[in-house]
Amino acid sequence: MFESIRKHSKIAMLLLFLLIVPSFILVGIDSSYFSGSSPVVALVDGQEITQNDWDNAHRQESDRLRAQQPQLNAALLDTPEARYATLERLVRERVLQAAVKKSHLVASDGQLARQLKDIPQIAALRRADGTLDIEGYKALVATQGLTPEGFEAAVRRDLAINQVLGHLGSTAFGTATQTKVTLDALLQRREVQLVEVKPASFISKVEQTPELLQQYYQANTAKFQQPEQASIEYAVLDLASVAASINLNEADLRTYYQENLAQWAGKEERRASHILLQASKDTPAAERDKAKARAQELLEQLRKNPSSFAELAKKHSQDTGSAVQGGDLGFFAKGAMVKPFEEAAFALKKGELSEVVESEFGYHLIQLTDIKTPRQPSFEELRPRLEAELRQQQAQRKFAEVAETFTNTVYEQAESLQPVAEKLGLKVQTATQVQRKPSPGTPAPLNNEKFLTALFSEDSIANQRNTEALELGNNQLVAGRITAYQAAATLPFDTVREQVQKLYVAEKSAELARKEGEARLAAWQIKPEAATGLGAALVVSREQRQNQAPALLDAILSAKTNELPAWVGVDLGNQGYTLARINRIVPREPGPANIEEQRQQQYVQWLAAAEAQAYYEFLKTRFKVQIKAPRPVSASANAEKN
């Protein structure tokens, strides 16, 4: 049958076409047929947030943080907690956007202008005359992949969103009495004496027999596991590897040198003197005409005697700053002067006089006195820089094409990474003892959750085939395969005997210490005067922790003090059991006036933050927020559960 199909493949394809097309006509083609559906992870006001939305938002946030902090451990960005925090931020943005839409909030042109003015990078583009360097502004926003219009629309959107919660900060207030009551409770100090019951004192009392150690081992096999691990090989495609494969053409290098020489040589500077007859745009027309006519008269005098420029400038120029210098403005580059003045000055030859030049300040007569042309570095001087920049540019243009080849090759020739390495000039790297959950300090990409999940998938483990090409960041792909796998296993008792004994003794001695501490606490609460071994009195507070464990400090500061002395006891696990006798409440001493004022402001900020959070929770209810992705359980919570 199959042989027949091979011989008549064209007929078979036609029959399949005739069978499939009518089903599309009758049923229709869902967009997800081609694009693939993405699970919905949250709903806000009936609008879906998909897994793709979440992944894209987290990738952008990770890229932003890596750009700001190059030394940041990438593993911290790929934890379930970090990813869930991104989802919560995404939900918050959608909630506030829905509130903006329902409340018809907008940002005015005035608000936009003030906001842009307050951005330091934009403020730095202001010229001496107050005008904005438009080309510099375009280049600045282009670094974020935006046009000026797109950037300003984003700023308007943020300003509108800020109106949703921003007004709450201005309405919050706290009186001096409220602040004092709150801070007195929060910063309260208590004098205590401690008694520590250490596990080390009970080690000799711990019963140790082979049978008990075996029982402990059997009951706690999870503590004696050798985690699953694998030996792998992997290949990384990034801009550096693409750039390394590029052979530069000498002609392209020289063209790039000529095109960018002005930039590398620096800006040409010109020195000029001017005579200004002031006449702003608000000046009446008659006075402006009079000023222009006077300028024309001075120009005629200068044409007859150009050497008298300095003398005439001192006598007639209304620019008080330069008049005393004979009109001399010193050297300046393009962008430093108003446009009409700049165009005239850079059109003159050395020693020439301009015509009457009109600007927003009035009428100018300009004499060009000098030209400073920067030294042009030679081609050979710039060759290393030319090669690096041109190679990087070509790598960025070529990356998408190479990435497609990388992706297709690791999929089509899935039994090895060698074909893709040979095709693209990559290095196949190896690693041993790779684990599903990396230890702190593991280098990239072996600390990437997405990569490790793909490596330790059932198909990858069973068939030792290449993973798909995975995106780690901007212009960075990785694929890997397992070459040897060792499943998780419980280590034999004889192998971990010393570890079993150590853990058993530590646990049992801590248990004896706890029982002894609880017994003392019960007895001393009934008969406080019987307490012995109390340490020296010390004063503790949330500001003065005195190196005490957080659990102990919380117990001391939250204990009832209706009757003093009061007692608390805290089990600190392997550190033992600590009893604390609370002798007295120590009144909080007010700090300097400026500190108290800062605390009052901090208290109001707390109130504002609490009100904003409460209002946000109301908005979540109003817009029927549903987060369907489960909140990850933290490592500490898992430890407590176990």
Q: What is the pLDDT of residues 358-368, one digit of tens each?
A: 998 899 999 99
Q: How far apart are alpha carbons 503 and 500 in whole angstroms?
A: 5
Domain ranges of the chain: 2-33, 188-222+494-586, 229-250+381-487, 267-372
Q: How far apart are alpha carbons 407 and 365 in whole angstroms?
A: 66
* Phi, psi (degrees; rounded to nearest 5) at 479: -140, 150
pLDDT 10s digits, 426-462: 999 999 999 988 888 888 899 888 899 999 999 899 9
Look at the chain and count its residues: 642
Q: How far are the Cα atoms of 180, 206, 323, 491, 536 from residue 413, in angstroms, in the given order?
A: 72, 60, 79, 37, 73
Checking if the pLDDT of 594 tops 90, the result is no
**pTM attached to this predicted model:** 0.50
Residue 87 CB contacts under 8 Å (≥ 6 apart), including other chains: 41, 42, 49, 54, 57, 58, 627, 629
Q: How far apart are alpha carbons 528 and 566 in whole angstroms?
A: 9
**What one-letter code names the amino acid at 211?**
E
* Phi, psi (degrees; rounded to nearest 5) at 626: -130, 120
Q: How far apart are alpha carbons 270 and 67 in whole angstroms?
A: 39
More confident position, 556 or 73: 556
* Phi, psi (degrees; rounded to nearest 5) at 72: -65, 135
Tell me what the pLDDT averaged over the chain comes to.
83
| Token pair recorded at residue 78 | 């790929």
Q: Which helix (H) or strand (E) holds 226?
A: strand 225-226
Q: Which helix (H) or strand (E) holds 141?
A: helix 134-142
Q: How far apart are alpha carbons 188 and 367 in whole angstroms?
A: 75
Residue 507 CB contacts under 8 Å (≥ 6 apart), including other chains: 216, 574
Checking if the pLDDT of 236 tops 90, the result is yes
| pLDDT classification of 130: cutoffs 50, 70, 90 | low
* Phi, psi (degrees; rounded to nearest 5) at 117: -65, -30
Q: How far apart are alpha carbons 413 and 97 in whole angstroms?
A: 46
Q: How many Å is the maximal CA-CA distance in the chain? A: 118
* Cβ atoms < 10 Å from Cβ of 63: 13
Burial class (CB in 10 A: 0-12, 13-18, 19+), 275: buried
| pLDDT classification of 165: cutoffs 50, 70, 90 | confident
Burial class (CB in 10 A: 0-12, 13-18, 19+), 5: exposed
Q: What is the reported pLDDT for 586?
A: 87
| pLDDT classification of 73: cutoffs 50, 70, 90 | low
Q: What is the reported pLDDT for 148?
A: 81
Q: Which of 32, 77, 64 is nearest to 51 (CA)?
A: 32
In this structure, CATH architecture of domain 267-372 = Roll (3.10)
Helix (H, G, I), strand (E, B) or coil at 3: helix
Q: Which of 370, 334, 335 is nearest to 352 (CA)?
A: 370
End-to-end CA distance of the chain: 60
Q: What is the reported pLDDT for 12?
A: 39
424 and 237 Cβ atoms separated by less than 8 Å: yes
Q: How far apart are alpha carbons 171 and 614 in whole angstroms?
A: 14
Residue with tokens 């003398």: 311
187 and 541 Cβ atoms separated by less than 8 Å: yes
* Phi, psi (degrees; rounded to nearest 5) at 62: -65, -45
Q: How far apart are alpha carbons 508 and 224 in whole angstroms?
A: 18
Q: Which of 155, 128, 149 is nearest to 137 (CA)?
A: 149
362-372 and 357-359 as β-strands: parallel, antiparallel, unpaired?
Answer: antiparallel
Checking if the pLDDT of 520 tops 80, the result is yes
Q: What is the reported pLDDT for 75?
A: 63
* Cβ atoms < 10 Å from Cβ of 101: 11
Q: Which of 59-68, 317-326, 451-460, 548-557 has the lowest average pLDDT?
A: 59-68
Q: What is the reported pLDDT for 390?
A: 84
Q: How far apart are alpha carbons 282 and 272 in whole angstroms?
A: 27
Burial class (CB in 10 A: 0-12, 13-18, 19+), 117: exposed
Burial class (CB in 10 A: 0-12, 13-18, 19+), 204: exposed
Q: What is the reported pLDDT for 508?
A: 95
Checking if the pLDDT of 486 tops 60, the result is yes
Sheet bearing 429-434, strands edge to edge: 429-434, 229-238, 476-486, 470-473
Extended strands (E) in 67-167:
none
Q: How far apart are alpha carbons 15 and 5 in whole angstroms?
A: 12
